Amino acid sequence: MANDRATTTPPGSAPSGAPTAGAPGATGPGAEIYLDYCTSCHNAKMRSLDQTRFTRVQWKTAIEKMISMGTQLSSDEVPPLLDYLVQTHGAPEDEAKRDNSVR
Ligand code: HEC
């Protein structure tokens, strides 16, 4: 795979822990994996994930579900994809915990 483009500029000054509601400019290996494997079924027109906010664990579960449905993701592509999804569509862990204990 040719990967000559200079796409390594990080988002920069985002403080870790601050939830960013959708980072449209996110780039990197995870973003490319997402484009390659997920947007054929999840895009603005179809099953949009734009509003989805999952914790890391929830994303991992969802990725595993997609793999079991036939998405041909290799195991070393999961971690960067997970990082990308948590960065761009993350939910605070303790909010999920609270949800679980409430119901
Ligand atoms: C072949 C089409 C297809 C591909 C490729 C695909 N999905 Fe899905 N995805 C679906 C369908 C269909 C559902 C609904 C499944 C269901 O409700 O049981 C779904 C559901 C989901 C959900 C909701 C899961 C839940 O339990 O609520 C998430 C999140 C998701 N996909 C993420 C992804 C990610 C991330 C990728 C890329 C790794 C991906 N999908 C690739 C078809 C696809």
| pLDDT tens per residue, range 38-54 | 999 999 999 999 999 99
pTM of the model: 0.76
Q: Using a 6 Å CB cutoff, which residues line ligand 1?
A: 37-38, 40-42, 47, 49, 52, 62-63, 65-66, 71, 73
pLDDT tens per residue, range 1-28: 555 555 544 554 444 444 444 455 567 8
Range of the domain at 90: 4-99
Counting ligand 1 atoms within 8 A of each CB, the residue from 55, 66, 76 with the most, and so the one to mutate, is 66
pLDDT confidence of residue 70: 95
pLDDT confidence of residue 28: 87
Residue with token string 């949800």: 99
- Total number of domains constituting the chain: 1
Residue 103: burial class (beta carbons within 10 Å; 0-12, 13-18, 19+) = exposed
pLDDT confidence of residue 21: 45
Average pLDDT over residues 25-33: 85
